[in-house]
Amino acid sequence: GTGLIAFINGGLNRASMIDSFMVTARSTAMIFFIVLGAAFYNGFLALTQVPQELSNYVVSQGFSPIVVLMLILCFYLLFGCVMDSLSMILLTIPIFFPVISAMDFNLISLPELQADAAMEVLRNGIPEGMAADMLASIKGAIADGAELTREQMKALDIRMTQGMANRVEAEHVAIWFGILVLIVVE
């Protein structure tokens, strides 16, 4: 659309069009080689297990997750002075993301997930056939921040496990780490 308008208005001739295609091709080739190099680099990291070893080391040292996150973000700030953002992200995410994933940020707990699911069910009305004492025990467990029992979850017809809580926490950590990296890098 824009090229057609420039051609009609006389701002785009054959020489400037060829020049713009060449500049575009050079930029695309540079980006392609950055991505290709990152693919080889990721293969190397997968074979050597460097990210997993680094994450095991960081976790075994007992560093606070927030301190580790702040150090990584400071590294991005310093690295951003000498590299472009795409290269920096492609080179560092394969190393830093396993470290962040191994840290326990305590964003989500199983009782919180169970309480949210239970409150959603109860908001839609008390399930048919639920005894008053069961309802009282569920509300008491939610108020205390305690984990629901298997019978309580069965009465609500919900299923929340520790594995589900771990998956949700991993997703939240990935999202927030990605957002922080993009904010710092850009």
Q: Give the tokens for residue 7.
A: 């051609």
Helix (H, G, I), strand (E, B) or coil at 22: helix
Q: Give domain limits for the chain.
A: 1-45
**Cβ proximity of 28 and 34 under 8 Å:** no
For residue 57, name the pLDDT band (cuts at 50, 70, 90): very high
Cα 41 to its chain centre, rounded Å, is: 21
pLDDT, tens digit, for every residue of 86-101?
A: 888 888 888 898 888 8
Sort 144 into a burial class: Cβ within 10 Å, 0-12 / 13-18 / 19+: exposed
CB atoms closer than 10 angstroms to residue 172:
13
What confidence tens digit (pLDDT) does each residue in 22-45 have? 999 999 999 899 889 888 988 898
Two tokens, residue 164 = 């589900």
